[in-house]
Amino acid sequence: MTHIPRRALLAGPFAAALAAPASRAQGAFPSRPVTVLVPFAAGGPTDVITRLVAEGMGRDLGQPVVVENVTGAGGTIAAGRVAQARPDGHTLLMHHIGHASAATLYRRLPYSVLDSFAPLGLASDAAMTLVARPDFPANDLAGFMAEIRRKGEALNLAHSGLGAANHLCGMLLQSTAGTKLTGVVFRGSAPAITDMMAGRIDVFCDQATNTATFLREGRIKGYAVTLPQRVPGLDLPTTAEAGEPSLLMSTWHGLYAPKGTPEEVQDRLSAALRSALAEERLRSRFADLVTQPASDERATPAFHRRFLAEEVARWRPVIQAAGQYAD
């Protein structure tokens, strides 16, 4: 039997062959289940959207993608945890438009909205709807805006708390109208809509996901959707068609990793996101939610980075003009 010196063995091809599997195993991604933090309660639109995306991403990644609900402080607790997580791609954040508005709404954050995260791609867009109580006197958006401008604070405006999508839309509505309404805070959209149907709330700007059924049944009055295109199944014009092009807003969702996540891991996660958004089951469920999956272009890190910066800049003057801060 030929004796091979240990030093030669460690330095030779045999050593490389032994080391290669271990090296590949250490560098493989994902090496364990991926966790996506959701800043809102289970069962809400963000939670449902995230769970649908997570299922599809898990199939593409070959590892479970687990959803964890971490609520509180307008989503900033969950965002803070992800900002501090190990940047290896195994801890992610799914957040909506409130992530962009938090940059101004919270004057003291333990992270930077723009600099503490690696945006991986947008996941969805949902229209907001401008609605009112059943006996509201206006019959179109022009009349709706005229009534708001005429009555101002004599009208009340529902929202679900500072930083909620319907709160942001309400601020945009008031900024566009050049007047202030009396805000009434509810613990979610459902009780606000219940009070609106009973005539106790005058005006609301909420996701079509929440208002579509009541609009179709004629139990509340609808005036417009805030996307550039109409929403299938809702007989409402766009705000641009109805003469208010600046009233443009979507409740978008985006996926984030911590800053410093390797670029190849970001690309792998973004590809898994696009794969999930292409699945027919997800697209069908999104349609039920009156939301739409992001296009391949929008579900990329490059687009998401630009879009997030634009949204932060867009909401800053609206929030500052309203003078409403969460801290």
What is the model's pLDDT at position 163?
Answer: 85
**pLDDT above 70 coverage of the chain, percent:** 92
Residue 302, sorted as left (phi over 0), alpha (psi -120 to 50) or beta, turns out to be: alpha
Comparing C-alpha atoms, which of 259, 249, 245 is closest to residue 227?
249
Q: Where does 82-141 show beta strands of DSSP type E?
A: 91-96, 117-132
Distance CA 162, CA 74 (A): 7
What is the model's pLDDT at position 27?
Answer: 63
What is the model's pLDDT at position 25?
Answer: 38
What is the model's pLDDT at position 4?
Answer: 44
pLDDT digits (tens, 9 = 90+) for 15-62: 433 333 333 334 689 999 999 999 998 998 899 999 999 999 999 999
- Domain boundaries for CATH 3.40.190.10 within the chain: 127-225
What is the model's pLDDT at position 10?
Answer: 40
Residue 327: band (very low, low, confident or very high) from pLDDT cuts 50, 70, 90: confident
Q: Per CATH, the architecture of 127-225 is what?
A: 3-Layer(aba) Sandwich (3.40)
DSSP per residue, 193-224:
HHHHHTTS--EEEEEHHHHHHHHHTTSSEEEE
Query: What mean pLDDT comes out for the span 262-275?
Result: 98
Question: Greater confidence, 7 or 326?
Answer: 326
Tell me: pLDDT of 177 over 80: yes
Residue 8: band (very low, low, confident or very high) from pLDDT cuts 50, 70, 90: very low
CATH no. for 33-125+250-322: 3.40.190.150
Query: What mean pLDDT comes out for the span 154-181?
Result: 94
**pLDDT above 90 coverage of the chain, percent:** 85
Distance CA 159, CA 187 (A): 9
- Domain boundaries for CATH 3.40.190.150 within the chain: 33-125+250-322
